[in-house]
A = this chain, B = another copy of it.
Amino acid sequence: MNAEPLSKQLFSDTKNASQLVRSYQKIAVTIDCVIFGYQDGQLKVLLIKSDLENYTEQWSLLGNEITHTETTDEAAYRVLKQRTGLSDVFLDQVKCFSTPDRHPGGRVVTVAYCSLINIAHHQLTCTDNDLHWHPVQDEIDWAFDHKEIFETCYGWLQKRIQEHPLGFSLLPEKFSLRELQGVYEAILGMKLDRRNFRKKFFTMDFLEDTGEMELNVAHRPGKLYTFNYKKYESGKKDWVGIDF
């Protein structure tokens, strides 16, 4: 909690909006993008080298300031495109981070954005500053407070993939249950019980048997399914979703 005395001027002594905003302390505002990528059963995150001497050899998220003429959303899409070439990625705002000493150069408040994509479907057309996909399981030497931002976004993603069918966008249109389980295991970072996993998905009743089987696989070929988005959309929970 803050120790600012309660005697501080509470209500502004001006009724003029411009005067009021001029009286406010000004702060640099940045965005940071946590882009998760799925590839060959592995979850990765996009990392880049910082330009700063404080962080030589350390890794940072994709970030930059927001300008006076753009929203944080617009800044996030702009920075992502500029630094990676990616322009067809949906970003979700996750959280604002504002510890006063989080940036070594002065006060910087940052807003974190998150996304999950299939690496094979999205080409990085710019890889300056050692931009690369890094497995989330490997140790990462983070610059700034980016470990905290990464972990917050990773937790957000792990919760979200249990509540929304976003994992299916990582799979081919027709997929096996083994592939589906691979997506969940990679993102949740744990092995899942095969039978419980299958039961759970069949209970939800959004998987459709295509009548086809896997081809050219090293294991016993499994059935191929599609995800019925139409059924999912029309059956979305309303209040009866109360469930905790």
Chain A residues with a Cβ under 8 A of chain B: 1-2, 4, 6, 8, 10-12, 14-22, 24-30, 51-54, 65-75, 77-78, 81-83, 93, 95-96, 98-100, 103-109, 111, 128-129, 161-165, 184, 188, 190, 192, 196, 200-201, 204, 232, 237, 239-244
Q: Chain A: interface secondary structure?
A: mixed
**Contact yes or no, B53 A71, CB < 8 A:** no
* Chain B residues with CB under 8 A of A100: 68-71
In the bound complex, CA of A15 to CA of B52 (Å): 4
Which 5 pairs from chain A and chain B are nearest by CB?
Answer: A17-B105, A26-B26, A21-B105, A24-B28, A21-B106
Contact A51–B14 (Cβ < 8 Å): yes
Q: Are B20 and A52 in contact (CB under 8 A)?
A: yes
Q: Write 22 A-B pairs (CB below 8 A) sorted by A numbering.
A: A2-B77, A6-B82, A8-B82, A11-B51, A11-B128, A12-B51, A15-B53, A18-B105, A18-B106, A21-B28, A22-B106, A24-B108, A27-B68, A29-B98, A66-B98, A68-B100, A71-B99, A96-B96, A98-B111, A162-B237, A162-B242, A200-B240
For the complex formed, measure the closest distance between the CB of A25 and the CB atoms of chain B, giving whole angstroms: 6
A70 contacts B16, C-beta separation under 8 Å:
no
In the complex, are the beta carbons of A25 and B82 less than 8 A apart?
no
Interchain nearest-CB distance for A60 vs B (Å) = 12
Tell me, in angstroms, the Cα distance from A108 to B76 when the chains sit together.
18
The quantity of this chain's copies bound in the complex is: 2
Q: Are A104 and B69 in contact (CB under 8 A)?
A: no
Q: How far is the CB of A107 from chain B (nearest CB, A)?
A: 5
CB-based contact A77/B243 at 8 Å: no
Structural contact, A27 and B66, CB atoms closer than 8 A: yes
Asked if A243 meets B162 with Cβ closer than 8 Å, knowing A15-B53, A28-B21, A51-B15, the reply is yes
A232 to B244: give the CA distance in the assembly, Å.
8
Q: Of residues A6, A27, A73, A190, which shows the largest number of chain B Cβ atoms within 10 Å of its Cβ?
A: A27
Bound complex: CA of A24 vs CA of B107, how far in Å?
11
Closest to A200 in B: B242
Which residues does chain B contribute within 8 Å of A21, judged by CB atoms? Answer: 28, 103, 105-108
